[in-house]
Amino acid sequence: MLTDHRPWSETPLDLPAAPGAWYQLAAAGGWQIVVGDTAHPIAHDIVTSRVQGRAGLTSGWCALPFAVPVLCAPATGPGVNALQTAVKALTAEGLPLQRTVVALTSMGAGRLPPPVRAAATMLQSQVFAVVNLPFDPHIRSHGLTDAARLSRRTSEATATLVADIVRAAQHTWGEPLPPAPVPAGLQAPGPPVSTRPVEGVLR
């Protein structure tokens, strides 16, 4: 995951919006996994891009090789209402809900509210997986600066989220995943050079 390690209170960096630029960067660096943390309003982006007759950011991210969309929402009534609106927009646009994972983040301790539990149950049949991330006061106050202090429930839920993302990719493209295509402008690396002695030549 590429990160600038700056405090959350800092203003966002001025970074390219085009998803393809991030794929180029990932390919150039030889990363095996890249997490793109975006904050654009999905439903608004889909509707606006359709009205303007252009490709939107959401479709651009979904079109990247081996991309697994992860929709994040607070586990509240308004949060799941916004999430359901986004899911309807994705469905109307024909974007890949079948490999999409939903992460619902609890905003406080205790059980999820009934509307959230009902929405999660309904979403199970529309997306690849729905994961509930428990409330963790350490993240709320310190972020991820000290991962060793995360609660056991948070660690288990995070492991489930990562496993579901990998399973969604494997379900779509096969296991093991085939090599990712090299973007235009980047040359594929040559075959590895062996350092082992060749029989009859070096001993």
pTM, 2 dp: 0.83
Size (the chain), residues:
203
In terms of C-beta distances under 8 Å and separation of at least 24 residues, what long-range contacts does 141-147 make, across chains too? 143/8
Per-residue pLDDT of the chain (203 residues; tens, 9 = 90+): 556 677 767 887 777 888 998 898 888 888 888 888 888 899 999 999 999 999 899 999 999 999 999 999 999 999 999 999 999 999 999 999 999 999 999 998 888 999 999 999 999 999 999 999 999 887 777 766 677 788 899 999 999 999 999 999 999 999 999 988 888 777 666 665 444 444 433 33
Do the Cβ atoms of 76 and 107 come closer than 8 Å?
A: yes
Q: What is the DSSP string of 53-98?
A: TS--HHHHHHTSTT---EEEEESSHHHHHHHHHHHHHHHHHT--GG
3-class DSSP state for residue 3? coil
What is the spatial distance between Cα 178 and Cα 51, in angstroms, rounded to a whole number?
36
Phi, psi at residue 33, to the nearest 5°?
A: -135, 135
Residues near 19 by beta carbon (within 8 Å), at least 6 away in sequence:
36, 57, 60, 61, 63, 64
**What letter represents residue 54's amino acid?**
R
